[in-house]
Amino acid sequence: MPNSDNQDGVHNKITKEIRYHHDISDPTDDTNKSVIAQSFSGNVETAKSHFFHADALTSNDTNGTQLDYAITADGNGIKFTIAFGTKGAGTAEADDWAATWATTKDSLVGANKWVNVRANSYWTATDATPHLF
């Protein structure tokens, strides 16, 4: 469950879509870099746990003030919108929720704990619209 620090509003809203793509050994061959088809039967919780490492889901819940997930329109990815409140006056920007989330995300990506690693694939995260809220 996201934090409740919304007294001073919610800021820095972002929306991303994440998908897995086929990984090939020849980087000049684009024929097998297509999106990997998924089937989540409309279950967003299944899609979340398929894509996100548990540490990433915890980071989103801890650092986000508003948060929503959906399966992408093509059914092959996860879309999320996250926005951040503030810890209040006197909090350094680097210590506020948005910066803490970004720093944590970067650390988790570096440790392969942001998106679950899948054999013979790689993942992409792209900016998306519209926002989910």
Domain membership flag for residue 133: no
The closest alpha carbon to 47, from 75, 23, 26, 21, belongs to 75
Domain membership flag for residue 43: yes
Domain count, the chain: 1
Cα-based distances in Å from 130 to 17, 21, 29, 42, 85 = 11, 23, 32, 19, 20
Domain membership flag for residue 44: yes
> Which residues form the domain of 28?
11-127
17-26 per-position pLDDT tens digit: 999 998 766 6
57-72 per-position pLDDT tens digit: 999 999 999 999 999 9
Question: pLDDT band for position 53 (50/70/90)?
Answer: very high
